[in-house]
C-alpha cells in the first residue's frame, strides 16, 4: 500500500518564559491510502497537536521540526495558496463538538453548499443536489427537508454526520477525526464509527482517528499508535495490539477500562507530571508511573524497537516484560486503574511568593509543588495552616497566578485569572470549589433553587427554563435537601445544609474536578460523616475528581485515595493514603499523626 500521509520526526514546542514547552517529541506516523489509523493518548499527550500540524493549524510561535508529507509533498513547503487549496480539497477535519464548528445562524444546506462550492466551480443547483446526496450517504433521512433546517434542530450525532458529509463532499482523501464521538452517547458513538468505517470501504477515505479510548480505536481502526508525553510509545496493527500489547502503558490503557469508573480502594502514587514532555527528556517518559521501571529506564529515551508484523515499541524492557503484560491484561488490578483514568489536573513545579511589607525576602507560600489528579480519584492535601495548601488551591483555580510552573486542568492550560467571559465559563466546567465556611459561600439573598438554576442557565442553556428548574430540584434532592429547604434562604438553613447546597452548586456545572477546601471542617462530626459519605457517593456516580484540602488527618483517611503532606509550601511526603498514614516516612508526617487523638486514648 502507498503512504497517503507520512509524518517523520515531528517535534513541536512552544516557547515560553521558562524555556520551550515541548508538546510533540519526534513522532513518526504513517497513514496508508484506504486505511484507518488511531492515535490514542490521554489529554495532553500531544495527539491533537500532531493532528493539527497536518493542516498546519499551529500557533505562529510554535517551533516545528521534522516533516509532514502528504502524497509525497511536504506540507511545510507549501505556499499559502497551496495550503488553502490543500485544506479545501485534500484533508477534512471533524471535531469533538460539531455544534461548535457550525454557524448556528445558517441552515445545514447553506453549510454544505458553501463547502462544496469553495473548492471548485459548481452551480448552486448542482450543489444542492450534491448536498442532498451527501446527507443520504451519511444516513440522514429526508435529506431534502433537512437541508432547510438549522443546526439546533439536529441532534449531536446527526450534526456529526453532517460534518462527515461535508468532509466527504470536499473530495478529501484523508479525514482527521479528533475525538469525533466523545461528546456523543455510547449508542450513537457506535453508529458514527460504523459510518466512518463504511466510508473508508466505499470511497477509499483514509481516516486518522484521534481518541483517548483505546477500545473504541482497536475495534474500528486498522492500526493503533499509542502516544504518551508527546511521543509514540507503541505502533501496532490493531489485531496485534489486542492480542499482546508490548508497552506497559498500552497494556494499562487496555487492561482496566471497566475499572476506571469504580472507586478503587487503593491507587498507586504517581509522582511528577506525566503529561509534560519537556520533563521527560532523556529518559522514558512513562518511567515514573510504570510498575516495571528499572534503572535502564532513566538511561536515555528508549529507541523504537521493531516488532513482528510491522510495528514498534519504545520500551527498553519490552522483551523482558512481554509475558507479564499479557498476564496483567487478564487480571486487571486497581493499580492499573490509577494509571489509566484520564488526568484531570496536572500541575508541575508550582511556585508562589508573596511580598511582605518590610521583609527583605518574600514569603514562599508554594514551593515547587507538582500534582496529578485523575478522574474518579480523591487527592488529599494535608498540612497545618500556613502550609500553602489553600494557596495551592487558589493557584489551580486561577484566582492567583503562579510565579513559576504550569497548570493543566481538563486538558486546558491555565495561567492566572480568566481573560474573557467565555474562558471563565469554560473554566467553570473544568474545576469547581466548595469553601470551608458555609455561611459566606452562599449569596444571602438567593435560595438554593435559584442559585443552582443560575449556574445551570450558564452551562446548560440547552435544558430550557423548566428543564433547568427540574434539574436544579433533582440535584438538590440528590444532595439531601427537601422541598422546603430548596426554596429557603441560606439564613434559614443549618451549616450542614448550606454545605450541601454549596456541593450541589459545584456539581451543577458538571465539572471534571472539585476542590474541597476544608469543606467539612466547620461542621459537627456527625454532619461531617454525612457530607463525606455524600461526596463519596457523588464521586461514584459521576466520576468527578476531588482535591480535598484539610488539616484533619482522620477526614483525609476516610475520603482520600492518595495524600500529599505539605509543610511551609513544599510537599514533604506523598503516596497512597493507607501507606502514608500507617507507615509515614517523613518526620513531619509522623509528628502530625502523633498529634491526632486516637480512639483508644483520652477524648480530646
Site map (CB under 8 A) of another protein, residues 183-202, x = contact = --------------------
Mark the segment that binds another protein (CB under 8 A) among 81-89, 219-227, 311-319, 417-425: 417-425
Regarding beta strands 206-211 and 174-178, do their DSSP bridges make them parallel or antiparallel, or are they unpaired? parallel
Of 421 and 603, which CB lies nearer to another protein in the complex structure? 421
Q: Residue 274 or residue 448: which is nearer to another protein going by CB?
A: 448
Q: How far is the CB of 332 from another protein (least distance, A)?
A: 36
Residue 470 Cβ vs another protein, minimum distance, rounded to whole Å: 13
Q: Quickly count: other Cβ atoms within 10 Å of residue 72's Cβ.
A: 9
Cβ–Cβ under 8 Å, residues 432 and 452: no
Strands 404-409 and 412-413: antiparallel
| CB contact set of 594 (below 8 Å; sequence gap of 6+) | none
Q: Is 155 helix (H, G, I), strand (E, B) or coil?
A: coil
* Least CB distance to another protein at residue 282 (A): 38
Task: Give the count of residues interacting with another protein (CB under 8 A).
Answer: 35
| Segment (H or E) for 279 | none
Backbone angles phi, psi at 474, to 5 degrees: -60, -45
Interface with another protein (CB under 8 A), residue from 505, 561, 562, 567: 505
HEC string of 519-577?
CCCCCCHHHHHHHHHHHHHHHHHHCCEEEEEECCHHHHHHHCCEEEEEECCEEEEEEEH
Count of alpha carbons within 13 angstroms of residue 462, beta-carbon side: 7
Q: Which is nearer to another protein, 167 or 504 (CB)?
A: 504
Please list the residues that pair with 67 across neighbouring strands. 8
Identify the DSSP state of 8. Answer: E
Assess 553 for contact with another protein (CB under 8 A): no
Contact string 7-36 vs another protein (x = CB under 8 A): ------------------------------
- Which residue among 124, 133, 425, 590 contacts another protein (CB under 8 A)? 425
Could you give the string, one character per residue 259-288, with x where binding to another protein holds by CB under 8 A and - elsewhere?
------------------------------
* CA–CA distance, 12 with 14 (Å, rounded to integer): 7
Nearer to another protein, 431 or 534 (CB): 431
Nearer to another protein, 175 or 472 (CB): 472
Q: What is the DSSP string of 461-527?
A: GGGHHHHHHHHHHHHHHHTT--HHHHTS-GGGS-HHHHHHHHHHHHHHT--SEEEEESTTTTS-HHH
509 binds another protein (CB under 8 A): yes
Please name the residue that has the C-alpha cell 460504523: 194
Select the span of 12-20, 51-59, 149-157, 486-494 touching another protein (CB under 8 A).
Answer: 486-494
Q: Which stretch binds another protein (CB under 8 A): 305-313, 352-360, 426-434, 530-538?
A: 426-434
DSSP 8-state secondary structure symbol assigned to residue 105 = T
| Type and span of the H or E element at 311 | strand 311-313
Pick between residue 21 and residue 426 the one whose CB is nearest to another protein: 426
By C-beta, is 124 or 445 nearer to another protein? 445
Assess 501 for contact with another protein (CB under 8 A): no
Decide: 20 and 14 in contact? Cβ < 8 Å. yes
* Shortest spacing between CB 566 and another protein, in angstroms: 22
Q: Are 409 and 430 in contact (CB under 8 A)?
A: yes
CB of 279 to another protein, least distance (A): 28
Cβ distance to another protein smaller for residue 429 or 551: 429
In the numeric block, which cell numbers belong to residue 46? 500531544
Site for another protein in 428-457 (CB under 8 A): 428-429, 431-433, 435, 437, 440-447, 449-450, 454-455
Question: What is the C-alpha to C-alpha distance for residues 404 and 435, in angstroms, rounded to an integer?
Answer: 25
Residues of this chain that interact with another protein (CB under 8 A) are 397, 399, 421, 424-429, 431-433, 435, 437, 440-447, 449-450, 454-455, 458-459, 487-489, 502, 505, 508-509
Amino acid at each position: 500500500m502507498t503512504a497517503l500521509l507520512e509524518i517523520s520526526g515531528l517535534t513541536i514546542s512552544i516557547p515560553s518564559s521558562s524555556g520551550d514547552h515541548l508538546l510533540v517529541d519526534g513522532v513518526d506516523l504513517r497513514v496508508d491510502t484506504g486505511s484507518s489509523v488511531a492515535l490514542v493518548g490521554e489529554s495532553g499527550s500531544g495527539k491533537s497537536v500532531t493532528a493539527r500540524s497536518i493542516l498546519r493549524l499551529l500557533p505562529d510561535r510554535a517551533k516545528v521540526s521534522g516533516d509532514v508529507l502528504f502524497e509525497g509533498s511536504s506540507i511545510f513547503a507549501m505556499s499559502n495558496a497551496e495550503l488553502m487549496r490543500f485544506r479545501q480539497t485534500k484533508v477534512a477535519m471533524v471535531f469533538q463538538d460539531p455544534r461548535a464548528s457550525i454557524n448556528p445562524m445558517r441552515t445545514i444546506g447553506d453549510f454544505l453548499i458553501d463547502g462544496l462550492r469553495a473548492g471548485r466551480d459548481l452551480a448552486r443547483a448542482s450543489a444542492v443536489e450534491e448536498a442532498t446526496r451527501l446527507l443520504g450517504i451519511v444516513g440522514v433521512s429526508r435529506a431534502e427537508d433537512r437541508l432547510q433546517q438549522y443546526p439546533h434542530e439536529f441532534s449531536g450525532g446527526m450534526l456529526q454526520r453532517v460534518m462527515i458529509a461535508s468532509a466527504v463532499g470536499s473530495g478529501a482523501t484523508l479525514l482527521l477525526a479528533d475525538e469525533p464521538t466523545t461528546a456523543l452517547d455510547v449508542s450513537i458513538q457506535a453508529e458514527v464509527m460504523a459510518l466512518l468505517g463504511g466510508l473508508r470501504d466505499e470511497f477509499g477515505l483514509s481516516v486518522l482517528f484521534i481518541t483517548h479510548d483505546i477500545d473504541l480505536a482497536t475495534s474500528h481502526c486498522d492500526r493503533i499508535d499509542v502516544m504518551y508525553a508527546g511521543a509514540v510509545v507503541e505502533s501496532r496493527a490493531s489485531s496485534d495490539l489486542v492480542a499482546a500489547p508490548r508497552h506497559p502503558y498500552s497494556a494499562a490503557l487496555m487492561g482496566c477500562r471497566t475499572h476506571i469508573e469504580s472507586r478503587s480502594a487503593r491507587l498507586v502514587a504517581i509522582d511528577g507530571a506525566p503529561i509534560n514532555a519537556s520533563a521527560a527528556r532523556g529518559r522514558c517518559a512513562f518511567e515514573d508511573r510504570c510498575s516495571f521501571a528499572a534503572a535502564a529506564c532513566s538511561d536515555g529515551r528508549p529507541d523504537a524497537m521493531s516488532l513482528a508484523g510491522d510495528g514498534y515499541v519504545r520500551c527498553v524492557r519490552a522483551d523482558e516484560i512481554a509475558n507479564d503484560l499479557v498476564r496483567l491484561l487478564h487480571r486487571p488490578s486497581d493499580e492499573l486503574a490509577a494509571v489509566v483514568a484520564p488526568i484531570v489536573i496536572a500541575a508541575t513545579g508550582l511556585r508562589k511568593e508573596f511580598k511582605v511589607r518590610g521583609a527583605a525576602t518574600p514569603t514562599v507560600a508554594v514551593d515547587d509543588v507538582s500534582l496529578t489528579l485523575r478522574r474518579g480519584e480523591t487527592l488529599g492535601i494535608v498540612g497545618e495552616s500556613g502550609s500553602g495548601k489553600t494557596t495551592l488551591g487558589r493557584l489551580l483555580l486561577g484566582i492567583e497566578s503562579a510565579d513559576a510552573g504550569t497548570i493543566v486542568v481538563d486538558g486546558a492550560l491555565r495561567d492566572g485569572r480568566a481573560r474573557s467571559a467565555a474562558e471563565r465559563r469554560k473554566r467553570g466546567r473544568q474545576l469547581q470549589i466548595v469553601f470551608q465556611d458555609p455561611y459566606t459561600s452562599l449569596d444571602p439573598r438567593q435560595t438554593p433553587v435559584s442559585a443552582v438554576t443560575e449556574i445551570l442557565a450558564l452551562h446548560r442553556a440547552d435544558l430550557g427554563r423548566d428543564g433547568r428548574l427540574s434539574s436544579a430540584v433533582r440535584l438538590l434532592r440528590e444532595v439531601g435537601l427537601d422541598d422546603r429547604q430548596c426554596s429557603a434562604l441560606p439564613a434559614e438553613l443549618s451549616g450542614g445544609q448550606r454545605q450541601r447546597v454549596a456541593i450541589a452548586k459545584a456539581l451543577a456545572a458538571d465539572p471534571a474536578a472539585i476542590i474541597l477546601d476544608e469543606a467539612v471542617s466547620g461542621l459537627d462530626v456527625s454532619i461531617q460523616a454525612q457530607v463525606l459519605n455524600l461526596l463519596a457517593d457523588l464521586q461514584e456516580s459521576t466520576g468527578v475528581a476531588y482535591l480535598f484540602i484539610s488539616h484533619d488527618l482522620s477526614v483525609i483517611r476516610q475520603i482520600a485515595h492518595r495524600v500529599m503532606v505539605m509543610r511551609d509550601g513544599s510537599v514533604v511526603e506523598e503516596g497512597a493514603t493507607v501507606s502514608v498514614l500507617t507507615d509515614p516516612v517523613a518526620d513531619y508526617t509522623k509528628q502530625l499523626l502523633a498529634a491526632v487523638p486516637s480512639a483508644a486514648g483520652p477524648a480530646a
